[in-house]
Structure 1
């Protein structure tokens, strides 16, 4: 296979070791995708089993998201201090052990605490996963391997709801966490064997002030987005408070990074306009994806009346489209300008979203699936070339930081998208199918606007 064949002058690891390192990273990626998708559909069963309210179980998901978001930038910086192998092994170990804790949880408080630990472990691995792939593969194969990584994410996203529903129909929710244990053990073994432990600069000082400020910024943004989505229920003041906290902490963070001897996040990375524009394009596109991923279940279940399982099947064409497009887009990005390919992908994505927003009142299932498939193909064509653009426009010594920025853009884009849908539902006080239908339709048009903004930003790269 071309990915694992060596050529003179290749950077990174020899061919066979590349494959093992890729397996370690993609196993962890699969665990994280499975965990997020399957846990959400298990919340009703968790509420019944632990005898708690359905609303309180939301923090089983939010606790993971919040802890992961608050530590993404910190772990991206620690990668340059301790090396990829040590940090990835630590993150995998924490994630796997926390999965055991989740499976053994006998109370909601214990389960939420274990999910917070899972989020910390997940952030340690996901923040540097793309950087590890860049370090072990030569530049000539970077787009291709990022395309395969996107393929794995798409495949996991397609399988997770069906697998989760199957497990829940036959066993208890604890098994959703238990399946992480063998996968985690395999990934740790591969990591210790093949993933390189460089770059590492253990004697350099760590920016503790910057770390605290970054956690406050990212955590406050998550809480502000969540409170803003419930503004109609009286949480507007809370949203404003968290938003102001994030703004002030953000200004202090930038001030600190300009003066720290070893900054947590080197701001000179953003001197590259191509890196900055790729990051902003990623943020806008994930806002759009976040809106759509939350709006479509309401459309399928509340408006069209489909069951949760059938709704999951209707959503499947989206990740299938990513699986079909991403590997080819990554391969093309190794040969042609990545900005052109990602812009074309965004255009197809926008077309698919417009088609979804224009769905009739009583569409056929194949019609819904076809429009979702177009969205997936467009997003698959965009994602891996854009990720390649970000990583290739950061120096190799800054690849860990660039990988962290990529993870932050994805996380906060999806959070903002979720908040926007919450605002639409709150405005329409969605207590009927007709009102929810209006809220969902407006949300989809908002996703179209976010994608058009991403296209404008992406097009601006072509002139550079």
Structure 2
């Protein structure tokens, strides 16, 4: 039992005040007014010991790879699903939208909940829900049942994405955090590239339910490893703010739903009111969060200059990336006449280059500032997108491959240092909020980029080459803006 007047941690409670970051040595004792000296709070371990660290890294990699592949593999299988479940192609997109929307509305609430109950619980709970929902997807007998199961699956994926980066911070020693995040970025890029190929392989030998059923053994393996290896994290003593969670879901859900509707040719009369109501909910959310010690929307972290600049860099970069991903299929297939298979093969060079650059940048940031690496990487992305926009009328495959590789390498060079800086700028007890903001910035940037492509193609109908090239030029400008914002971090204070 702690001496009178001492904080709860002295009595052995796990939910006392959050201890200092691992690179700050705690004092031997903490005075308690004029009373006896209180024992210091236990220091946060600087990462896990090597054997357990490897297992925890494997558990995180398996779960994240599974959720990323599932997002791309389902999209590739939509034509088959639409045909076999007797639904129209335009309606079948809800098998993807339900997943993305569930992820978007629950990211920040789950990240905030992770700061209260622990990131390990949120991660493992998300993994269990994702795996069970995958089985429900495979057993769906109707399109409506599939959409409902996909929404539940998206909620599970949000549990993985919301605290993924925060968990890595407690798995890896501070000296190796950049490498750990670089490995994660490599896993994500490889999984994204493998999704369409995996869909083709599975659909070539089995029915569409198997694209979801394969998640069962992978999910169980990740759960078995993670249950024994994932670390605990400090827990806050504040209460979960239900109203703020509802406002957050309304803000991001309505805004992204409206932008997504515009991107797919929806009516502006219905989409713009959704965006407007979402923005009003966002204003209410920001006003409600002002002055809160542990806000669900981490406005407190946005007051840290280097954190705010890193969020701005993320928004620009992911918007630029999605401008490319959404416009390139139209340019390569409709405009330049490549087959679906050939276009996919050409695009793979982007993901391969990202997978090569991501771990390399994790090592480089041990010698160079993240702002510089991010600026150089996004300048390369901007140059690659600009070169794609200037493709000749009849390009050879090599003309496209080197441009794709330049984009992918630049994005990989930027991503790891940016994630490391963003997470490192937040106090350890706020790692969940930082991780949630990182994932939210990615989704908002990607959705904005996709909506922009939809608007450009709607404004330039019938222009199979000029329309996509215009979208690529906009992406080039956004990547250049992101490079400038990244370089501003060289003079920013944490």
Category of TM-score, reference length = shorter chain: over 0.9
* SS across alignment from 2:393: coil
Match of 2:354 in 1: 322
CA distance in 1, matches of 2:477, 2:297: 30
Maintained 8 Å contact 1:326/1:383: yes
CA distance in 1, matches of 2:328, 2:345: 12
Match of 1:277 among 309, 315, 336: 309
Higher fraction of helix: 1
Maintained 8 Å contact 1:142/1:334: no
Match of 2:15 in 1: none
Matches within 5 A, 1:43-442: 43-201=78-236, 203-230=237-264, 235-260=267-292, 262-430=294-462, 435-442=463-470
CA distance in 2, matches of 1:130, 1:101: 28
CA distance in 1, matches of 2:339, 2:167: 40
* SS across alignment from 1:237: helix
Maintained 8 Å contact 2:320/2:449: yes
Shift of 1:311: 1.3
CA distance in 2, matches of 1:133, 1:50: 40
CA distance in 1, matches of 2:292, 2:227: 33
Maintained 8 Å contact 2:371/2:488: no
Shift of 1:244: 1.0
CA distance in 2, matches of 1:253, 1:33: 29
Maintained 8 Å contact 1:320/1:376: yes
Q: When the two structures are superposed, what TM-score results if normalisation uses the length of structure 2?
A: 0.89
Match of 1:19 in 2: 54
Shift of 1:429: 2.7
CA distance in 1, matches of 2:293, 2:399: 57
Match of 1:36 among 71, 74, 78: 71
Match of 1:452 in 2: 480
CA distance in 1, matches of 2:142, 2:116: 37
CA distance in 2, matches of 1:360, 1:399: 46
Shift of 1:259: 4.9
Maintained 8 Å contact 1:165/1:309: no
* SS across alignment from 1:349: helix
CA distance in 1, matches of 2:470, 2:77: 28
Q: How many residues align?
A: 450
CA distance in 2, matches of 1:41, 1:350: 27
Maintained 8 Å contact 1:47/1:54: yes
The structure number with the bigger radius of gyration is 2
Match of 2:471 in 1: 443
Q: When the two structures are superposed, what TM-score results if normalisation uses the length of structure 1?
A: 0.94
Shift of 1:94: 0.5
Uncovered stretches (5+) of structure 1, i.e. residues with no partner: 1-8
Maintained 8 Å contact 1:356/1:368: yes
Uncovered stretches (5+) of structure 2, i.e. residues with no partner: 1-24, 26-44
Maintained 8 Å contact 2:350/2:408: yes
- Post-superposition Cα deviations, 1:236-284, rounded to whole Å, max 9, x if no partner, equal 1222201211211011001111255653234221121001000110011
**CA RMSD in angstroms, aligned pairs only:** 1.5
Q: Which runs of 4+ in 1 moved over 6 A?
A: none
